[in-house]
Structures are given as structure tokens and as C-alpha cells.
Amino acid sequence: MSSLRLLEHAPLVARNTLRVPATAPLLAQVRDRAALEELLGHAGMRGGPLLVLGEGSNLLLAGDPQGLVVQLDLRGIDVLHEGDDGALVRAEAGVGWNDFVHWTLGRRLEGLENLALIPGHVGAAPVQNIGAYGTEVGEFVATVEAFDRSSGQLCRLDHAACGFAYRDSVFKREPERWIVVAVEFRLPRHHTLRTDYAGIGEELAAMGIDRPRAAHVAEAVIRLRTRKLPDPAQIGNAGSFFKNPQVDAALAAALRVQYPQLPVYPAADPAQRKLSAAWMIEACGWKGHREGDAGISAQHSLVLVNHGHATGAQLLELARRVAASVRDRFGVAIEPEPRIIGATW
């Protein structure tokens, strides 16, 4: 018997980490391979609006989704190849990301340690190319298995075809086309640990570790994230709501003359720089700001928070005003990182 469950008028408030109320006209829950095949034959898969829902940790529901909402509860992990220098591991879309990171570390595989404690599922990781503390997941993605709605085929996209960029990929650029089913990771046995990102070295020192292993770096990252970022289990949020904007190096240099404290980072394109959106938002006075139940976290100014009963529309309205004030003061456009449903940015 297949385990495809179809729920009509499904409430989504407990299915998004911003804890925003919304209703899915039709929610399809897929529990195994047979259910996936059954779903792929479903009418809603051939066209029309689609939302693939993982943990809902990178999502702002500014309105009800139209059409089909799909949840893939596929949770297998398989080692496809293992050698002295590393392994090729396939994880299905519904595996919890942090659980997967710990699974890899327990298997003495490195690479994902800086990405510990990021909310969400494995299937979402390549979509926005999750990143933290100097690592992006795309570096370790060998292949993504995804259903292509435009051809009706299950496809295997190699690393190059995924088009990874800062918080971006082909899957994010065409969210209604792709459904990520599984991800294959090529993970080294030993690699050069990245401990130079602000805070990691200090945290390792505070832990009394002078020759860190990957598991120590993960522990340091967990301590930093726990301290710096609000926990979605305690207060509704979707992690960084804004991306760090990339601008011409000349503009970054001019802004640094005016604002010497503004953190500026290198970008993939050498003619560009990444600016700290958090710093600019804080400079505009938004950190800890609250209007009704919509707010900006007092812990980290990139994080939009729901103190209880804010609607998605209220959160979006606040986020737009934050962006407008940054644009007015710094002349820089900041853009949201989560997918917005029911409105355009």
C-alpha cells in the first residue's frame, strides 16, 4: 500500500518556523518511494503553483499558497562509496539537516562541521546553498536528484548543473520547476578545517581545544549559533531574513570612508564586495524593534521574529520598511533570503 497522504485545507502554522498562520488547499505527504511515484503522476505535478515544504525554516507565508504543497518525508541515508580518503553519501530530502551533519561526523567524514545546527531538511540545503562560518554546502554536493516538472522526469544534476552561488542555485531560481528528492555529498576523510571565521577560534580557545578536529568545530559552531541566533523552537523566525548585499568594490570603498566600522567581505566576483546587512540594519536602529508581534531580533538584526501572533503580511510589511531605511541611508538594496509566498518582495 502506498503511503501518499492528501490533506485538504491543511493548516500550516505548525509547519513554518516563523509560526505564521496559513492554509494549504491541498497538502501531499510522501512517505516512501511508491508514494513519490504516485505523487509524480498527480495532476498538480504537471503544472500550476507548487510549494515544496521541508521544515518551513526558509519561508514567509504572506498569504495562503495556491495549488499543491508537497512534503517529502523520505529519510534514507546510504553510503554509495567509501574509501580511505572519503565517501559518497546519499541522503533523502526529508532527513533533518543537523541530524545528517552529526551522522557524517559520527562516520568520521568531514566537511559539513561548520554547517551544524542550521535548521531545515537535507532537500532544502542545495536550494538556497546553505552557508555559515565560511562554508557553503554546494562545495560538498556531488549530485542532486530532483523531479523536473517541465519534462516530467526525475533528473540527476551534477555539481556544475546546480548553479550554486551565494544563497542561490538553479532550484531557487525556478522554485516551481524542481522538487529535490535526494542529495549526494562527496565528503573527505580529512580536510583543512575552517576556523578562521570570526568567533570560531575564540570559541575553540574557550573550550580549551588547541588541536581541533571536525567534531570540535561543529561544537564551537553550535555554541556560537545558540548564543547569537534566536532558536525557532522558542521564538518564530526563519534565520537570516536578509542576504548580505553584493555591491561594486568602488561603492564598498566609498561606504567604508563614510562608515569605517561597516564590515566588508570578499565576494565570489573579485570586482564585488559583500556588505554586512546586519550592521546596516542595526545602524538604522532596528535591532530589537517590535511592532505588535512582528519584530527584529534583539540577538541578531538579520533575523525577523514573530513574538506570537504576527501574520505573514505584517512581518513582510516590517521587513519592507527595514529594507527601505537601509536603502535611504546607505543607498544599498537588501533582499530577502526566504521564499515569500502570497506576495512579491
**Beta partners for residue 153, in sequence order:** 148
Binding of ligand EPU by 67 (CB under 6 A): no
The reply on whether position 293 binds ligand EPU by CB under 6 A is no
Kindly identify the residues of this chain, within the stretch 189-248, that bind ligand EPU according to CB under 6 A. 198, 228-229, 239-240, 243-244
Determine which residue in the list 92, 113, 136, 337 makes contact with ligand EPU, applying CB under 6 A. 337
Q: Does 164 bind ligand EPU (CB under 6 A)?
A: no
From CA 57, how far away is CA 66, in angstroms rounded? 19
Min dist. Cβ of residue 76 to ligand EPU (A) = 26
Q: Which of 301, 310, 316, 334 binds ligand EPU (CB under 6 A)?
A: 301
Query: Does position 29 bind ligand EPU by CB under 6 A?
Result: no
Nearest distance from C-beta of residue 54 to ligand EPU, angstroms: 14
Rounded to an integer, what distance in angstroms lies between the CA atom of residue 143 and that of residue 138? 10
Residue 104 φ/ψ, nearest 5 degrees: -65, -40
For ligand EPU, the closer CB: 80 or 198:
198
What is the rounded CA–CA span in Å between residue 22 and residue 83? 47
**Residue 239-268 contact track with ligand EPU, rule CB under 6 A, x = bound:** xx--xx------------------x-----
- For residue 154, which amino acid is it? L
State the nearest-atom distance from the C-beta of 33 to ligand EPU, in Å.
31
Binding of ligand EPU by 121 (CB under 6 A): no
Cα distances from 146 to residues 93, 151, 154, in angstroms, run 10, 11, 6
* Nearest residue (CB) to ligand EPU, 172 versus 300: 300
Instruction: For ligand EPU, give the closer residue by CB, 212 or 336.
Output: 336
Pairing of strands 23-30, 68-72: parallel
> Do residues 143 and 153 touch, judged by C-beta distance below 8 A?
no
Q: How many residues bind ligand EPU (CB under 6 A)?
A: 19
Buried b vs exposed e over 26-55: b needs ≥16 C-beta within 10 Å?
bbbbbbbeebbeebbeeebbeeeebbbbbb
Reported as type and span, the H/E element at residue 35 is helix 33-40
Q: Which of 136, 186, 337, 339 is catalytic?
A: 337
Decide: helix, strand or coil at residue 164: coil
- Tell me which H or E stretch contains 10: strand 4-11
Q: Is 337 a catalytic residue?
A: yes
Does residue 113 touch ligand EPU according to CB under 6 A?
A: no
Q: Cα(249)–Cα(79) distance, rounded to whole angstroms?
A: 43
Q: How far apart are CA 254 and CA 246, in angstroms?
A: 14
Identify whether 240 is a catalytic site residue: yes
- Give yes or no for residue 186 binding ligand EPU (CB under 6 A): no
Question: Which is it for strands 246-248 and 236-240: parallel, antiparallel or unpaired?
Answer: unpaired
Q: Is 111 in the site for ligand EPU (CB under 6 A)?
A: no
Q: Which three cell numbers stand for residue 121?
A: 531538511
Inter-residue contact 12 to 22 (CB < 8 Å)? yes
Q: Which is nearer to ligand EPU, 74 or 117 (CB)?
A: 117
Q: Which of 302, 315, 319, 334 binds ligand EPU (CB under 6 A)?
A: 302
**98 near ligand EPU (CB under 6 A):** no
Residue 102 found at the interface with ligand EPU (CB under 6 A): no
Between 273 and 300, CB nearer to ligand EPU: 300
CB contact at 8 A, 322 and 285: no
Question: Interface residues with ligand EPU (CB under 6 A)?
Answer: 132-133, 198, 228-229, 239-240, 243-244, 263, 276, 278-279, 282, 287, 300-302, 337
Active site residues: 167, 240, 337
